[in-house]
Amino acid sequence: MSLSVRKIVISGILGAIAILLGVTRLGFIPVPTPAGHATIMHIPVILGGVLEGPVVGLITGAIFGLFSFLQPGAPFFADPLVSIFPRLFIGVVSYLVYFFSKKAINLATRPGASTAPGADDTSPGPTTAGSKISRILPYLLAGAFGSATNTILVMGMATWRGYLPAEVSVSIGVLHGVPELIVAAILTVILVQGIQRIRPSEE
């Protein structure tokens, strides 16, 4: 296996953003719960998976995990099984969700498009709205599932390793996981669309 320069650089820069969000505390959004904040530090990892594929998602996740292991924000992140291991999956899951949901949407919308060949510009109303949703939906799902992967695996490992009782993990998971999931899904859509404007065109 070899890594292209593009994959090396994008993983590195997304890893830098994940670290930056941690050290400046910008990656924590205030949530009215006892712990006081939810995290969106895993957004760069989701973007890595969606924009560049599973390998970049995996490497960015590893950098994010390594950082949260070496400078733990909560005590149980001092355990590499809680801080590093779950983060390896965020980008990979995001990529898989993005890839398969895009494929499913393409399959579902194809018959509709084929009934009116060459008539795209005559009926712009419902079809453009529909195509916009079908363009956004894979990113939305990838963001949501990537965020859920982080919450579930981190809380799951913290419970399995015995740092938190199951009842507490579930309530923290719901209280923090849901706002994190919503913010991650919306941010993924906005950021991907912004970034794709300045990237050299591939699609």
Partner 1 sequence: MELTKNITLGVYLPGKSFIHNLDPRTKIIAATIIIILLLLSRSYAAFAVSALFIGSLMVLSGIPTGYALRGLKPMLPVLVIMWIFQLFLFKEPGATIYFHWWIFEATEAGLHMGNLIILRVLFLFTVTTFLTLTTSVVSLTDGLESLLKPLRMIGLPSQELVMTLVIALRFVLILAEELEKIIKAQMARGVAFDRGNFIQKTRKIFPVFLPLFIGAFKRAEELIVAMDARSYTGGRGRTKMKTLHMGRVDLTAAAGMTAYSGLLIYIIIFTKPMI
Q: How far is CA 188 from CA 17, 123, 136, 140, in A?
A: 14, 30, 10, 7
Shortest distance, position 13 Cβ to partner 1, whole Å: 5
Shortest distance, position 12 Cβ to partner 1, whole Å: 3
Nearest to 180 by CA among 188, 192, 168: 188
Structure tokens at 68: 């949260």
Letters for 7-26 (x = contact with partner 1 by CB under 8 A, - = none) are: -xxxxxxxxxx-xx--xx-x
Q: CA-CA distance, 85 to 160, in Å (whole number)?
A: 13
Structure tokens at 88: 């390896």
Segment lying near partner 1 (by CB under 8 A), choices 39-47, 92-100, 108-116, 129-137: 39-47
* 37-39 and 28-30 beta bridge pairing: antiparallel
Residue (70 or 108) nearer to partner 1, CB: 70
Which positions lie near partner 1, rule CB under 8 A?
1-3, 5-6, 8-17, 19-20, 23-24, 26, 29-32, 40, 43, 47, 59, 63, 66, 69-72, 74-76, 78-81, 161-165, 167-168, 179, 183, 187, 190-191, 194-195, 197-200
